[in-house]
Amino acid sequence: MKRIGILSAALVLAVSSVMGQAKKPTIMVVPSDRYCISKGYMTKFDNQDIPDYKKALQNDADLRMAISKISGIMADREFPLKDLEQELRNISNESAESAMITGASGSSVAESPVDVLKRTAKADIIMDLDFSVVKQGPRNSIMYTLNGLDAYTSKNIASSTGVGSPSSAASVELLIEEAVLSHMDEFTGRLQAHFDDMFANGREVKIMVKVFDGSEVNLSDEVDYNGETNELAIFIEDWMADNTVSGRFSLSDGTENFQRYEQVRIPMYYERNGRQRAMDTRTFVNNLKKFVAESFNLESKVYMRGLGEAWLIIGEK
Amino acid sequence: MRRLIKTVALSAISMLLMCGTTNAQSRNKVRKLEYNSQYNYEVATLAVGVDGTKLVKVWGYGKKAEDAVRDAKAQGVACAIFRGFPAGSNGSAAPTPPIVTDPNAATTHEDYFVKFFEPGGKYLQYVNLSTDGVSTDRVKVNKKTYKVGVELSIAYDELRKELERQGIARKLNSGF
C-alpha cells in the first residue's frame, strides 16, 4: 500500500513537471454599467457616456468595501485579483513616464495610436459587480449580482445573484458584506467548473482572419495546396479543424475579407524543445501564420488582443 | 365441522399476522437503509454565517438522542463535502456548492474518509458550534430511533483547505 502511495506521488510529480503550467487568466472586479449610471459615475468620451471608474472608486465607500471583500476571498482561494484602482493609477503613471523617457540621441519611446488605445485597464475575466438597496418600509435588503464575463468570448462563465433577507436592524454596509459572503462560494464553484471544462476540452477563444486592403489575395481567391485547388478560406478552415481540440470551433461569419471564428477550443499546452509549454491564442495564431506562409507563400501579421483573442491579417507583415 | 371452522379461522389469523410482521420487517429494513444512506442529507441553511462558515440545521438519526446528535454533526460536515447546502428560505443565504466536485471522491479516498468520520474523528474540528445541548427538535420516530435537529456552524473554508491539502478537492488555481 505504502509502495503504491510513493509510486503515485512520483507519477504526479513527473506529470506536473512535464506538463508545466497553463496560462493563468487575470481577473478584475469592475462595477457594472447599471451601477455607475444609477450613482452618476459617468463621463463623456467622444460624445458618448461611459462609466467613470476612478470617480466611482474615489467616492463610493460601499463599492470599495464590496470589491475589497471579494478580492480578499479570491486571494484566500490563491487566485489574487487585479485591482481596478491600482490598474488605473498604473496606466496614468505609465503614460507620464513613457512621455518623459528619452534616449541618448534625444529620441522618445515609440508609440503608435494602437499602443495608446491598448493602454486601458483590462483583464481576461471581468467580475461585473452590481448591487442596490431595496427598501421595504423600515426594512432594507440588498439585491446583488456578480457576473463573471470572459472578455474575449463575451460569455457569462460564472454568476451568482439574489436578494438578501430584509432587515431593519442591520446597517447597509453589513448587508452588503453579508451579500458578498453569501454569494462568493456559489460564484467560485461555477468558476471552478469553467476551469475544469477548460482543462478537459481546451481553452475557448476567438480568432479573426482579416486581409490588408493592399493584399494581392483575398480569402475567396483560389489557391493550390497538396494538389488541391480551393478557396484560401477553405484551407484555413481545414487547418482550424486539424489543430483545435476535437476539431471544435465555429465559423460564425465570413466574407472575402474576413473570417470570424468563435468557440475555438485551443489546446492548453504545446511542445517546444521537448517540453510542454502553455498555449495562448497568440501562439496558436502564430502557427496559423506559419501554415499560411509555408503553404501559400503569403505574408501576414499577428495582432494580439489578449490571452483569448488574436487576429491574423493576411497580405503584409 | 366446528373443529374445521376453528382450524381454518386460526390459520387465516396466523397468516394475516405473518403478513403484517413481514411488512413491518421490510418497512424497518427500508427505514434503516434510508437512515444510513450516504445520500440522505436532511439539511436547511439558516443564514449567512460569519466569514468562512456556514450556518445550517441538520437532522440526524440514532438509537439514542445523543447518537442522533453525533450523526447530525457528521452529516453536516459530509453534506458540505459531497452535496453542498441548499439556499436559505426568503433569500437568507445563497446555495453553497460541494467542496468536492468529483462524484467518486468518497470511494476513491475511502481510507481517508473512514478515518475522518470515525467517532471522535477529525470531522469534529470543522463543527464550530452546535445546539446539541439545548436542541428542541427531538422526535422519537419509532421504538428504536430518534431524529434530532441540530443547528451547526460549519468551518467551510477550513474544511475546503484541508481537503485541498490532501489532494481530494481541486484548488481554484490548480493547473495554472
Measured CA distances, B112 to B59, B116, B124 (Å): 24, 6, 15
- The answer to whether residue A15 scores a pLDDT higher than 50 is no
- The answer to whether residue A11 scores a pLDDT higher than 70 is no
Q: Which of A141, A192, A199 minimises the CB distance to B172?
A: A192
Query: Residue B22 has which C-alpha cell?
Result: 413481514
Cβ pair B171:A22 closer than 8 A: no
The rounded distance, in Å, linking the Cα atoms of B31 and A262 is 53
Cβ pair B101:A76 closer than 8 A: no
The rounded distance, in Å, linking the Cα atoms of B77 and B26 is 30
What is the CB neighbour count within 10 angstroms for residue A109? Answer: 12
Q: Which of B90, B92, B172 minimises the CB distance to A188?
A: B172
Report long-range pairs for A218-222 (Cβ below 8 Å, ≥24 apart). A218/A256, A218/A257, A219/A254, A219/A255, A219/A256, A219/A257, A219/A258, A219/A259, A219/A314, A220/A255, A220/A256, A221/A256
The rounded distance, in Å, linking the Cα atoms of B74 and B169 is 19
Cβ pair A164:B170 closer than 8 A: no
Q: What is the pLDDT of residue B9?
A: 67
Q: Is B91 at the interface with chain A, CB within 8 A? A: yes
pLDDT digits (tens, 9 = 90+) for B126-172: 998 777 666 568 888 888 889 999 999 999 999 999 999 999 999 99
Residues of B in contact with A80 (CB under 8 A): none
Cβ within 8 Å of residue B109, ≥6 positions away: B166, B168
**Could you say which residues from 64 to 83 on chain B have a Cβ atom under 8 Å away from some Cβ of chain A?**
none
Phi, psi of A130 (to 5 degrees): -145, 135
Closest Cα in chain A, distance from residue B31 (Å): 33
- A22-96+107-199 is classed in which CATH architecture? 3-Layer(aba) Sandwich (3.40)
Residues of A in contact with B82 (CB under 8 A): none
Cβ within 8 Å of residue A116, ≥6 positions away: none
Domain range annotation of chain A: 22-96+107-199, 202-314
Is residue A209 a contact partner of residue A258, using CB atoms and an 8 Å limit? yes
Phi, psi of B153 (to 5 degrees): -110, 115
Closest Cα in chain B, distance from residue A157 (Å): 14
The stretches of chain B forming alpha helices (DSSP H) are: 2-36, 65-82, 105-108, 110-116, 156-165
pLDDT digits (tens, 9 = 90+) for A263-298: 999 999 888 888 888 888 999 999 999 999 999 999
Q: Is A139 at the interface with chain B, CB within 8 A? A: no
Closest Cα in chain A, distance from residue B113 (Å): 17
Q: Which of B91, B97, B173 minimises the CB distance to A165?
A: B91
Cβ pair A162:B91 closer than 8 A: yes
pLDDT digits (tens, 9 = 90+) for B110-130: 999 999 999 999 999 999 877
Decide which of B137 and B44 is more confident: B44
